[in-house]
């Protein structure tokens, strides 16, 4: 079964089954979280909830496996092994590996599609080799765990902008994903009420090359989708530019006062591709 990663992914605590379907309906893909969103004493119950929602004729899941990611606990923990035992009884075969730190860890998940979440110093440093693993379908980065792994206290300045170390990690994971031809997912925006700040960050994610942005609240989904959906003016400009390129043949040409070459045409193609996705 293939898995299509859309622009707006929504985390849902795995111990809150009453939210599963709502989260799936409001996003492009739902991330059932067995890691940070679930307290240690509730993890076994969360796994039970994932298994319990499998029902109906033929044991069909209530969630679409093609739009469901399960965030599992880090490799080397007892919870990781318990998570795998749970997943073996489900049709879900796309996982997000929390605190991915090296390529070797991905080989324990050879039968799964993996979203590698690089959120420690080791994970960011090894992002290139992690992205190159064949079962990795996407790369994501995380800011707060990263700063904690460095002994820091906050990933952002008081104005909401990222500190330089977080920006370095963001760029490193994006570059690693791009070099390996993998999908890149931008990290969450924790200030739920600040939709304007989210819109600016999501727009930057689009312009930078991230294919998706993760959300922690349903209200954020529409903002992220709006950032990824090109405007009518953008679409018209892209179509005119590509038509002009076809008429010009090969090589550099002039369009609306600008010199146009290959990379600019790829930007236009990316704009039209986002139209298809939305």
**pLDDT beyond 80 at 99:** yes
Q: Does residue 71 contact residue 31 with C-beta atoms inside 8 Å?
A: yes
SS3 36: coil
Q: Point out the annotated binding site for substrate.
A: 71, 119
User: Tell me: the pLDDT tens digits for 122-143?
Assistant: 999 999 999 999 999 999 999 9
Q: Point out the annotated binding site.
A: 71, 119, 145
SS3 242: helix
Q: What's the mean pLDDT in 89-110?
A: 96
pLDDT of residue 237: 73
**pLDDT beyond 80 at 197:** yes
Which two tokens mark 269? 């193609």
Q: Point out the annotated binding site for Mg(2+).
A: 119, 145
Which residue in 136, 127, 126 sits closest to 95, CA to CA?
136
Q: Note the pTM of the prediction, 2 decimals.
A: 0.85
Burial class (CB in 10 A: 0-12, 13-18, 19+), 40: exposed
User: Tell me: the pLDDT tens digits for 225-260?
Assistant: 999 987 666 766 767 766 776 777 766 767 777 876
**pLDDT beyond 80 at 147:** yes
Q: What's the mean pLDDT in 54-68?
A: 73
In the numeric block, the tokens 């795998």 are attached to 84
- Using CA atoms, how far apart are residues 18 and 26, in angstroms rounded to an integer? 14
Which residue in 58, 59, 3, 1 sits closest to 30, CA to CA?
3
């Amino acid at each position: 079964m293939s898995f299509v990663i859309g622009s707006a992914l929504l985390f849902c605590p795995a111990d809150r089954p009453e939210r599963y379907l709502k989260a799936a309906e409001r996003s492009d893909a739902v991330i059932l979280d067995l890691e940070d969103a679930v307290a240690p004493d509730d993890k076994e119950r969360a796994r039970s909830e994932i298994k319990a929602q499998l029902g109906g004729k033929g044991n069909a899941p209530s969630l679409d496996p093609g739009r469901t990611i399960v965030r599992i606990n880090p490799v080397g923990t007892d919870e990781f092994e318990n998570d795998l035992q749970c997943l073996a009884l489900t049709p879900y075969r796309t996982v997000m590996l929390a605190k991915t730190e090296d390529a070797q860890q991905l080989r324990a998940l050879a039968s799964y599609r993996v979203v590698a979440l690089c959120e420690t110093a080791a994970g960011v440093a090894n992002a290139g080799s992690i992205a190159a693993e064949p079962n990795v379908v996407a790369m994501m980065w995380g800011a707060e765990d990263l700063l904690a792994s460095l002994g820091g206290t906050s990933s952002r300045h008081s104005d909401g902008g990222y500190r330089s170390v977080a920006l370095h990690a963001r760029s490193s994971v994006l570059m690693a994903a791009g070099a390996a031809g993998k999908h890149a997912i931008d990290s969450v925006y924790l200030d739920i009420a600040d939709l304007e700040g989210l819109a600016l960050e999501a727009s930057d994610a689009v312009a930078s090359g991230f294919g998706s942005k993760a959300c922690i609240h349903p209200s954020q989904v529409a903002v992220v989708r709006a950032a990824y959906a090109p405007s009518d003016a953008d679409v018209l400009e892209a179509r005119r530019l590509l038509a002009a390129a076809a008429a010009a043949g090969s090589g550099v040409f002039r369009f609306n006062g600008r010199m146009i070459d290959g990379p600019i045409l790829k930007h236009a193609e990316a704009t039209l591709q986002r139209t298809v996705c939305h």
